[in-house]
Amino acid sequence: MSAPLVYLDYAASTPVDKRVVALMSALSVGADTFANASSVHAAGRRAQAIVREAARQLSKCLGTAPERLVWTSGATESNNLAIAGAAHYRATRRTGGKHLITMRTEHKSVTDVFRALEGRGFDVTWLAPGPDGRLATDTLRQALRDDTQLVSLMHVNNETGVIQDIAAIGALCRDAGVLFHVDAAQSLGKLPIELEYLPVDLMSVTAHKVYGPKGIGALYIADRPGCHVEPLLFGGGQQDRLRPGTLPVPLIAGFGAAAAIAELAMEADHAHAQRLSERLWHGIRDLPGVAMTALAELTYPGILSVNIEDVEGESLLLGLEPLCVATGSACNSRDQEPSSVLRALGLDDKRAQSTIRFSFGRATTNADIDLAVQRYRDTVVKLRNLAPERVA
């Protein structure tokens, strides 16, 4: 009989909160809640009321108005809509406005959009982070040009947990008249966000990173002159034609409920993650050659990325079973190439491939962490004993 799995990959996805499941189940079978929210009859109006309540809950967690949100299928679509939509809109309305800026440490749903835009005539500047994983405002200031239209950054990095100073970066963009997009998939419900005060124009969020269902996300679009996106999809007139299609009412309701729960639990969740991260690092930090990928004080504690010398990464990952962890982001875990994020931070290929990302959630226990410590230590010792050379 195989050992029970220990899930330490909350940065990839979270379990759906039982309260969210109960709400969605009730809506899915309800006699008066299955209707198309675009319909004008009574059942349609009830469905639309559920959507409005979810928008209220999510907007409260983000510190903005409900009407600033556009529902999408998740953060990938939100990122695509924000970046490609804003780039095309601005390029057609400002002469020569085809310069865009992002970082090499972004999620693939951001970097791949920028690469596609490069193929369509846009000029992209790819900035590297500093040694601490953060973007210095001076670096961004030097990259800005008269024809710059958009800057896109991740709030919390999905591989390292590094938190970008989006307030300072946004202020610089605002002064330059440049749109600022933030991928907040890893920070929604985990860090305080007040879009009423933050100089952020576009923000992508998703439900499944915050104990909500997969398949639903949202894009915040600020109410400012010049802040608009061209649609990627065409069809009905839903959501002001920015993202047409029949709204998935149970999924939207689940996202709203998950956001409301996260807002109330944010402080406790953060403290819990902090304790778990410290417990894990304390248990392995004396291993020769082990290091945190990023400084703890600059990261969200729910993500702990560690790397180690002279240990082969794939063997390490397999040796850690039954722990469910990642070698980088879930989107890249099947790719044997070293993470572009880790290489941008200066790790060589071997060190990058030895990197393990532990990520914690509400259901993670001290016993889970203690098992992780034991498995990590035992596996490192075993692999080094099999290797021809050992770390001194």
Which positions are catalytic?
331
First to last CA, the chain: 38
Q: Per the structure block, which two tokens stand in for 68?
A: 């600033």
How far, rounded to the nearest angstrom, does the alpha carbon of residue 5 sit from its chain's CA centroid?
Answer: 24
Q: Which of 134, 188, 197 is nearest to 170 (CA)?
A: 197
CB 61, CB 193: distance < 8 Å:
yes
Residue that has been written with the tokens 């860090």 in this structure: 191
DSSP bridge pairs for 217: 72, 206
- Residue showing tokens 């969740």: 269
User: Cα separation of 325 and 347, whole Å?
Assistant: 20
Report which DSSP code applies to 134. Answer: P
Alpha helix positions (H), 92-236: 108-118, 137-143, 166-176
Pairing between β-strand 290-292 and β-strand 217-221 as defined by DSSP bridges: unpaired
